[in-house]
Amino acid sequence: MVACASLYLVSRGAWVALGLLLLLVLIVWVGLFKQTACDVETKNAPDGCGNTAYGRLRACHLRDHKRAKHDALFALFGLRNPTQAWRVRWTRSPSAYGRTAPAPGSTPSRVTNPLYDGAILVATIAGSVATIIALVLQFN
Ligand SMILES: [Zn+2]
């Protein structure tokens, strides 16, 4: 698909559109497919989780890390992750038998490079829009 679009743009001499398309492909690859480290900060790994993640915007296989990364990306833009509304949270209150509910497993995880990940997200969106505009202009 990308190769066909590239060949078409080369045949038409649309170098700006070709450059934007290739930039978009690079940004999408870095954001969603490049093999990298998860980098979510945990209690045991303050330098960031070292598990493999595919894409700077994605986390490793651990559900907490996926949530932390999604929450951090929303928080970067001053938003709240809408999926938080469906998360069940158990409080540590005394039960009728005088015992307490289990303590939470750990403190919430954080993303070590939220600015970098947010910049990748913004670049992905901006690159997509620019490429679509360039392709529309090229076809007209
Ligand atoms: Zn992780």
Could you report the per-residue pLDDT of 44-57, keeping only the tens digit for each?
877 889 999 999 99
Distance 70 CA to ligand 1 centre (A): 12
Dihedral over Cα of 28, 40, 113, 46: its sign? negative
Distance 84 CA to ligand 1 centre (A): 19
Least trusted range by pLDDT, from 4-8, 90-94, 115-119? 90-94
Distance 133 CA to ligand 1 centre (A): 36
> Which of 22, 16, 69 lies closest to 41 in space, CA to CA?
69
Residue 1 has pLDDT above 70, yes or no: yes
Residue 36 has pLDDT above 90, yes or no: yes
pTM for the structure as a whole: 0.58
